[in-house]
Chain A
Amino acid sequence: MFDTFILILDSTVRLSTPLLLACLAGLYSERAGVVDIGLEGKMLGAAFGAGAVGYLTGNAWAGLLAGIAVSIGLALIHGFASITNRGNQIVSGVAINFLAAGLTALLGQTWFRQGGRTPPLPEGGRFENIELPFAEAMRDVPLIGQIYSELLSGHNILVYIAFAAVPITWWVLFRTRFGLRLRAVGENPAAVDTAGISVIWLRYRAVIVCGMLCGVAGSYLSIAQSSGFITNMTAGKGFIALAALIFAKWQPLNAMLACLLFGFLDAVAIRLQGQELPGIGEVPVQFFQALPYILTVILLAGFIGKAIPPKAAGVPYTKERT
């Protein structure tokens, strides 16, 4: 029983990682007042870039850089549309999701001719799991040993990066000058402008950080979790991350908890597939798939606290009226 539990938690960590990275990405963007429903598209683009370059170079780090570059490119399109041109941020996000879905499949087929996938990664093209020191030796220690060697050890570097990004994000947002300004620009851009700080440049930086993190999230899917890119491999994870962001009320630590919860639901759903639960019977897997969204809607309805978005989120900043 305990073993099973540890195994579920272990896969929870793996499944939460891309959600967490994308969720933190959205956090930077939305805290700066740029709503981003293009997380999904950026992740997908990054997954493709990482898978393609990882295959061609056989170097996981090169793959990761490519993934981040693709994602930042898409993020800059979003920035150009929604910051420079003051376009509708939702529409821009939808466009990016379409572009990423279409281009990855089209270019994947053109370049690799395997129906849109990238070929399996060669040796070194994938981030391998890291055994923490003494993981093997601790394995037989009851409880602590299992937690250490199964749950904490044996993940790839991107998992550790994702969880390290949580305190870093907290520190950046709440303990640095950049973070203070970033939050201010999402609440009251006019005040930031009055203080002589460029709203546009601040928002662009937020969008670029968002692109970077989405890039890591997407790369994780294609060159860490699996070995190669598959068409539409994000499968809605960007939207679950968006749900987690709202569920977390735009707070970094809550974001981690929300992503772990949603990852846990996913892990349980995989575990329970086709199994009878005592007293309840078989729970349909679709129920677990819908649960993150249902929970978020219940939260939005105000039954679990209240989610208040940054005040200026979604509103383009107009410096002066002409």
Chain B
Amino acid sequence: MSAGQLPRWVDYGLIPVLNLVAAFLVSGLVVILIGESPIEAVQILLWGSLGFGEGIGFTLFYATNFIFTGLAVAVAFHAGLFNIGGEGQAYIGGLGVAWACLLLDHYVPWWVTMPLAVAGAALMGAAWAFIPAWLQATRGSHVVITTIMFNFIAASLMVYLLVNVMSEPGSMQPETRTFEDGGRLPFLNDMMPWVDFGTAPVNFSLILAILACIAVWLIIWRTRLGYEIRSFGANASAAVYAGIDPVRTIIITMLISGALAGMMAINEIMGSQHRLLIEFVTGYGFVGIAVALMGRAHPVGIVLAAILFGMLYQGGAELSFEIPAITRDMIVVIQGLVILFAGALEHMFRPFLIQAFAVGRGAAAQAG
């Protein structure tokens, strides 16, 4: 350890907080720019997302989406891969959910449909990640570019399917029919009578998301596969020299990542909308990048970051209701700033901190 290194708590605690503070300060400037009070905005945002049962319910509902897409990006990170195709994988994952629900909802209760819907979502999401993964592994074409392309191909494909193939006969809406009870996950509000989430659609998927976090933790840190993934991500050539098959590692990692992104559709489609419709992903896949970055690609961090973004989504909705001048686009701005400061400008404060700690250490050494 040279004098340039920082203690772990600074790396994992202080730097993310500083980045976040910087992002929020700039967001505050934007609020001032449009002539509103940032203090008032923060109050409404906090109250709207955490101040009452329904608000908390919505926060947790959005957080569920972010946990899935955040985990998806994080798993790929561990192998040094950048999956920005979560958007498309989640969208296509919706197909798997919808097929399971449309097929079974008349005949069986939800807990029979659910495993199939989860499998469908994971399979379709993984399938959509497979071609980019295979191209990266065998042809060396960059996974970032191919996953972007696949996001757009997914968007076109889904519009085509929903308009021409899957829409209800006689309906002009680009969406499937509404699922019956057998294709609906129970709301947490109904499962736990002692809490009051009001009309918030937070549902059983939250539990699935927590299970996914545990599964990811086990896979990445407690299995041979996870060791291979992390070794490959840390130093690909050393990993290959140690006998790790790069093609296999890349493809399996991307399949897991795609499956996790696809499972986001469970929450939206089976948990809340109860039908497959166009554009239900709307940015959750991209925000997953920010969630994974802020959560330092660790499940615990991802849950915390997902809740933060859930608060932004719900608080922002409340904010645009209370102060119409601050439209929901403000949330997109804040997300952009968080991605910028917590992601791209991650190391901006590092040199200052390293200097500060070096000075501190020097003083301590002299005193000692």
CB-CB contacts of A294-322 with B at 8 A, as 1s and 0s? 10110011100001010000100000001
B348 within 8 A of A: yes
Q: Which residues of B contact A22 (CB under 8 A)?
A: none
Interface hit among A8-16, A87-95, A143-151, A203-211: A87-95
Q: Which residues of A contact B144 (CB under 8 A)?
A: 35, 37, 90
CB nearest neighbor in B for A87: B344
Q: List 21 A-B contacts (CB under 8 A).
A: A37-B148, A88-B346, A89-B344, A90-B84, A94-B286, A94-B339, A97-B336, A98-B339, A102-B332, A102-B335, A107-B33, A109-B325, A109-B329, A110-B35, A236-B152, A287-B156, A297-B135, A297-B150, A300-B146, A302-B139, A314-B142
CB contact between B164 and one of A95, A101, A106, A284 (< 8 Å): that residue: A284
Q: Which residues of B contact A85 (CB under 8 A)?
A: 344-348
CB nearest neighbor in A for B286: A94
Q: Which residues of B contact A80 (CB under 8 A)?
A: 345
A99 within 8 A of B: yes
CB-CB contacts of B333-351 with A at 8 A, as 1s and 0s? 1111101100111111000
Residue contact A106 to B34, C-beta cutoff 8 Å: yes
B17 within 8 A of A: no
Nearest chain B CB to A314 CB, angstrom units:
8
Q: Give B268-295 interface residues, CB cut-off 8 Å to A.
A: 286, 289, 293
CB nearest neighbor in A for B23: A95
Q: Give B154-203 interface residues, CB cut-off 8 Å to A.
A: 156-157, 159-160, 164
Q: Which residues of A contact B35 (CB under 8 A)?
A: 110
Nearest chain B CB to A151 CB, angstrom units:
29
CB nearest neighbor in A for B141: A300
Residue contact A99 to B149, C-beta cutoff 8 Å: no
A4 within 8 A of B: no
CB contact between B160 and one of A92, A103, A284, A296 (< 8 Å): that residue: A284
Q: Which A residues form the contact surface with B (CB < 8 A)?
A: 35, 37, 77, 80-82, 85-92, 94-103, 105-107, 109-110, 116, 236, 239, 242-243, 246, 284, 286-287, 289-290, 293-294, 296-297, 300-302, 307, 309, 314, 322
Q: Which residues of A contact B339 (CB under 8 A)?
A: 91, 94-95, 98
Separation of A222 and B336 alpha carbons in the complex (Å):
23
Chain A at the B interface: mostly helix, strand, loop or mixed?
Answer: helix
Separation of A34 and B34 alpha carbons in the complex (Å):
33
CB contact between B344 and one of A91, A243, A296 (< 8 Å): that residue: A91
Residue contact B152 to A293, C-beta cutoff 8 Å: yes
Residue contact A95 to B348, C-beta cutoff 8 Å: no
CB contact between B336 and one of A89, A99, A236, A314 (< 8 Å): that residue: A99
Residue contact B340 to A81, C-beta cutoff 8 Å: yes
Q: Which 6 pairs of residues, A with B, have the shortest CB-CB distance? A: A98-B336, A102-B332, A92-B344, A102-B333, A99-B336, A300-B141
Separation of A201 and B317 alpha carbons in the complex (Å):
43
Residue contact A99 to B337, C-beta cutoff 8 Å: yes
Separation of A310 and B66 alpha carbons in the complex (Å):
34
Residue contact A90 to B340, C-beta cutoff 8 Å: no
Q: Which residues of B contact A116 (CB under 8 A)?
A: 327, 329
Q: Which residues of B contact A242 (CB under 8 A)?
A: 145, 148
Residue contact A81 to B345, C-beta cutoff 8 Å: yes
Residue contact A106 to B30, C-beta cutoff 8 Å: yes
Residue contact A103 to B340, C-beta cutoff 8 Å: no
Residue contact B335 to A88, C-beta cutoff 8 Å: no
Given contacts A81-B345, A90-B82, 19 further A-B contacts (CB under 8 A): A35-B144, A81-B344, A87-B345, A88-B344, A92-B343, A95-B339, A97-B336, A98-B332, A101-B332, A102-B332, A103-B329, A105-B329, A116-B327, A242-B148, A286-B160, A290-B156, A293-B150, A293-B152, A297-B149
Q: Which residues of A contact B329 (CB under 8 A)?
A: 101-103, 105-106, 109, 116
Separation of A118 and B160 alpha carbons in the complex (Å):
32
- Say whether, besides A95-B336, A110-B35, A286 and B343 are in contact (CB < 8 Å): no
CB nearest neighbor in A for B160: A286
B330 within 8 A of A: yes
Separation of A98 and B84 alpha carbons in the complex (Å):
14
Candidate in A80, A293, A309 with the most chain B CB atoms within 10 angstroms: A293
CB contact between B157 and one of A101, A290, A322 (< 8 Å): that residue: A290
Q: Which residues of B contact A90 (CB under 8 A)?
A: 82, 84, 144
Separation of A300 and B147 alpha carbons in the complex (Å):
12
Residue contact B340 to A110, C-beta cutoff 8 Å: no
Candidate in A81, A86, A98, A309 with the most chain B CB atoms within 10 angstroms: A98
Residue contact A301 to B149, C-beta cutoff 8 Å: no
- Say whether, besides A236-B152, A309-B142, A82 and B336 are in contact (CB < 8 Å): no
Residue contact B149 to A87, C-beta cutoff 8 Å: no
Residue contact A301 to B160, C-beta cutoff 8 Å: no
Residue contact A300 to B340, C-beta cutoff 8 Å: no
Residue contact B332 to A243, C-beta cutoff 8 Å: no
Residue contact B82 to A301, C-beta cutoff 8 Å: no
B51 within 8 A of A: no
Q: Which residues of A contact B141 (CB under 8 A)?
A: 300-302, 307
CB nearest neighbor in A for B336: A98
Q: Which residues of B contact A107 (CB under 8 A)?
A: 33-34
Q: Which residues of A contact B362 (CB under 8 A)?
A: none
B115 within 8 A of A: no
- Say whether, besides A105-B332, A301-B139, A293 and B344 are in contact (CB < 8 Å): no
